[in-house]
Amino acid sequence: MKDNVVVVIGSGPPAAAAAVFLRRAGIEVLMLEAGSERAASGLTFRIRGLTVAKRRGPLVQRERIRRTGDPDAMLFEELAPGGLSNHWSCAVPRFSAEDFADAERAGTEATWPIGYEDLAPWYARVEPLLHIAGSARNQLQLPAGNVRQAWELGPEWAALEEDAPRQGRSAVAMPYAYGADTSLTWSGTAFNSFVRLIRPEQRNGGLSVRFGARVQRLDWDPRSRRVQAVIFRDTRTGTEERVGCRAVVLSAGAFNTPQVLLQSKSADFPNGLGNTHDVLGRYLNDHPIAKLVLGLGSPIGIYPAAYITRPSLDRSPPLYAAAGMQWSGAARVARGLLTGHVGQSRSTGFSVFGTMAPDRDNFIALDPSVTGPDGTSGLTLHIHHPPEALVTLEQARDQIISLFARAGFEPRTDVWKVEAVGNSNHYAGTCRMHASPEFGMVNAWGRMHAASNLVVADSSVFTTNPEKNPVLTSMTLAARASDRLAAELKSGDL
């Protein structure tokens, strides 16, 4: 293997964005993917954004986990090309300026070292990769994206759209990746990052992928104070291999990223690479989630799906807010057709996504009492949803119901269920971004404070975890960080 490549660890959406932007800058990339080449094979057939046929494998929980917090906490894993993008909804809302202001008003510990103005031009560069259908208008708590297809809610939403700002909210069409495209993909979702981004980029040259490469640790050189190599185990042969590198982009997710760093011990970093202030693995964050199903006296539009945003900052305490993401899909649209309501339904469901303030006492750590077949440690998972999170979900439920009631839909609650910790699959924060190493592992460019040639690029860097789906923002942070890394590699500054 060449020593002058950038090694990207992982192949999920942020890893794919990192690889694309590195290659656009002329940097050679080696991607290490733990899963086999065919592990994520599936099929998704969409007509104008509606999924009419789908085949994919089951989503499974990770093994060798010791739960010392909530005993029912869930942790899903997909060791396959594209990672968990083989199972996501494809919702791609931007974070807003209010999301960063919300964090700042919670105090220094929660403050991001960047703001929306830093990300806005990068959102605009990443979004074309996703073929987004969504609103082209700025809304309360949801900036307009660089959309391929402009979407608006149906006319029956007009009263709710007019009323929502009285709660400090907006009712708006949710932006979706490949949301209006007709497409056939050999993956479990319309946007699997490996299928949509990495494979096409491979055809251009300069990007190679090694499958079955389970990264064990990063090799630290105390003289140059850089990462000089990546050590991985070939899952087929069981042999351990070493690849030299100029830099590393670690994009393995909110659990595997800190695990790799915790396993990367040295004389300089006995508690894990870069872990100078015992921050690594801490501040584990989640999206508390509940399911709400309403029966309605008259039909409401379900395509495009609506997004009822979080309330404004003056109507919510710091870092506690929730939004409603309406369910859609071909099956629901078909049921509407059978009852004579094209694109509408007299039953509508929402995933109510909430937030929780970051707490360093929520964490993951190595658990050496349990080891895997490759000899690596299991993990300790310690997390609780604070009581404020449940209150926030209930308030959002009541306010969504009141919006429908005031608009004359005569709603009744058919289902209300608060899901277990981790059910949203939106863990974040375990290698967080902060101006100070006292509160974070990486700086505003995703660069590790203690290792200048190591970029962390996934949701583990989130300083806080706003109520929105994290994929677009994790990709945007990865693109921004990788472009900066490429520039410094080419200029000789790194």
Residue with tokens 């969409």: 46
Terminal-to-terminal C-alpha distance of the chain? 21
**Cα dist from 352 to 382, 407, 419, whole Å:** 23, 20, 10
In the chain, which stretches have pLDDT less than 50?
1
C-alpha 83, offset from chain centre? 11
Cα separation values, 283 from 62, 67, 160, 213, 280, Å:
20, 16, 36, 28, 9
Which two three-digit tokens encode residue 140?
């309360």
Q: Which of 482, 150, 134 is nearest to 325 (CA)?
A: 134
Per-position DSSP letters for 456-479, written without gaps between them: E-SGGG-SS--SS-SHHHHHHHHH
Distance of CA 248 to the CA centre of its chain: 20
Sign of CA dihedral 277, 278, 281, 287: negative
Burial class (CB in 10 A: 0-12, 13-18, 19+), 205: exposed
Give a yes or no: residue 140 inside a domain: no
pLDDT value at position 98? 97
Answer whether 160's CB lies under 8 Å from 404's CB.
yes
Pairing of strands 6-9, 247-250: parallel
Output the pLDDT for position 372.
78
Q: Looking at residue 332, what is its pLDDT?
A: 61
What is d(CA 462, CA 257) in angstroms, rounded to the nearest whole number?
13
Look at residue 380 and tell me if it is in a domain: no
- pLDDT at position 2: 55
Buried b (16+ CB within 10 A) or exposed e, 394-428: bbbbebbbebbeebebebeeeeeebbebbbbbbbb
pLDDT for the residue 189: 93
In a domain, 36, yes or no: yes
> Is there a contact between 485 and 249 (Cβ–Cβ < 8 Å)?
yes
Residue type, 19: A
Q: Please state, in angstroms and rounded to a whole number, the distance separating the CA atoms of residues 231 and 214.
A: 9
Asked whether residue 167 is domain-assigned, the answer is: no
- CA 28 from chain centre, in angstroms, equals 26
- CA 281 distance to own-chain centroid: 17
Q: Which two tokens stand for residue 443?
A: 């700086």
Q: Which two tokens stand for residue 182?
A: 């007709």
Number of domain units in the chain = 1
Distances (CA, A) of 2 to 21, 111, 209, 415, 450: 20, 39, 14, 56, 25
Q: How far is CA 293 from the centre of its chain?
A: 25
Whether the full predicted model's pTM is greater than 0.95, yes or no, is yes
**226-230 long-range CB contacts below 8 Å, 24 or more apart?**
226/451, 226/452, 226/453, 226/454, 227/273, 227/451, 227/453, 227/454, 230/7, 230/9, 230/32
CA distance linking residue 87 with residue 73, whole number of Å? 19
The pLDDT score that the predictor gives to residue 355 is 98
Q: What is the CATH number of the domain that holds 81?
A: 3.50.50.60
Inside any domain, residue 460: yes
List of residues 6+ apart from 82 with CB closer than 8 A: 11, 12, 13, 16, 40, 187, 192, 193, 194, 195
Per-residue confidence (pLDDT) for residue 1, from 0 to 100: 44
Which residue has tokens 């190591």? 454
Query: Which residue segment(s) compose the domain that 220 sits in?
Result: 1-40+73-123+189-285+425-494
Q: Taking CA 149 as the corner, what is the angle to CA 147 and CA 154, rounded to the nearest 5 degrees?
A: 115
Strand partners, 249: 8, 455
In a domain, 398, yes or no: no
Neighbours of 155 (CB within 10 A): 9
Tokens representing 390 are 């449940």
Give CA torsion, residues 279, 323, 14, 492, to 10 deg.
Answer: -60
Query: In this structure, is residue 60 part of a structural domain?
Result: no
Q: How many residues does the chain have?
A: 494
H/E element, 378: strand 377-382
29 within some domain: yes
What lies within 8 Å, CB to CB, of 266 at 6+ separation is 220, 222, 273
At residue 195, the pLDDT reads 95
Q: Which of 67, 62, 53 is nearest to 83 (CA)?
A: 62
